[in-house]
Chains A and B, each alone.
Chain A
């Protein structure tokens, strides 16, 4: 009888292959767990997974809807990528998104009699500026008071949610809206142009792609981008090299704030068309998963945004077709992130099979070789 156990062993160097395989592995594990879950709920797992992940994309309308959801995810994820590269744990894309939508809505409501689409420029800029200001609070608190950005950004997310609720119940409420907590409907001139009249998809998808290319070029081809990368890899080395840590922090956070703000304003002037109490189904949080899943790589980010966008559509689909709760979306997103973290372990460790030496106690839990 072989008496063997699994053991985690540190690799001599991180495995590049594993870092690309890990997201795929995580997706497969999520699908398996999702299938088991559907089976437990009394549905045919394959059919349910088909309904969740495939059926939303069987026609052009579905792909256009996917694009509507990819745009905000891509914008937020692009900004977050820059922060995470610098090891700035900005969890605040959600709040920056909401403030962008709130500021942008205020601007759009100033142009209720506009006829020319040029007014979109000040509206978009107001949205970006609102997100930027929201991120600036975190940057200020971090650089001046060394306040932990995870906590400040999360608190600012909750504050932003309340600010939005206050606005739709108060100053921005439609005076002719029968007291519903909603703003007036935006006029056509203040809505983002559609790509095709047959679908709801608007030009915000180009904002996302443009931002991605711009930020990626900045990160990989410019001096600022290089400094941000060094800061994230080794803060001490960055300081030693004389890089201005505070300035870089400001730069990364403000960029993210502006992009998330743009996503927010694009949402209210796009598919929603007015300000309502809930303008984000958690895009800012899902974008965190996009960044990790997409390996902070531009192409990876596009695919990861599509997958996360699909989880929103899948949630709606299983609700309509199978009367399952829409909140399956969040569950799938959470599972995905968890499996990804577990699989990422295989980047720096490998699993080896070791024969147990009798008489000698070997801990069954993962023991890690310290050779490296």
Chain B
């Protein structure tokens, strides 16, 4: 009986989901590193983007699609906005809401790349978009320094 009561809450929860707009947390490098270095069995797909970056916006649906079933691997998508923190409320949050982004979105408030990029992605010049696929436990690391073409992201992940 107890279990049945629990079932009763599922439709309620689903009713709430689409209404709840995700909040975009402002993070620092240490927070990002913590998110990247989680040692579990899930593949971290970290996409660096910005609302002002056309090619970034264009490839976002590919990252969103990773949430849908059919993916052979467990993935965790993190969309790291490199937008200016001053534009959080008038650009980033409205964008996330309007696009109904399901992936976790954070704004990395570390505009001086020289203080942290070498520690995480020395290959990166700073060009957006950039994607890093990592799993520390299984020592997977893939750097993608340009936009992914249609279907490319899923096939890269399948090959890892």
Say if A and B assemble together: no
Residues of A within 8 A of B (CB): none
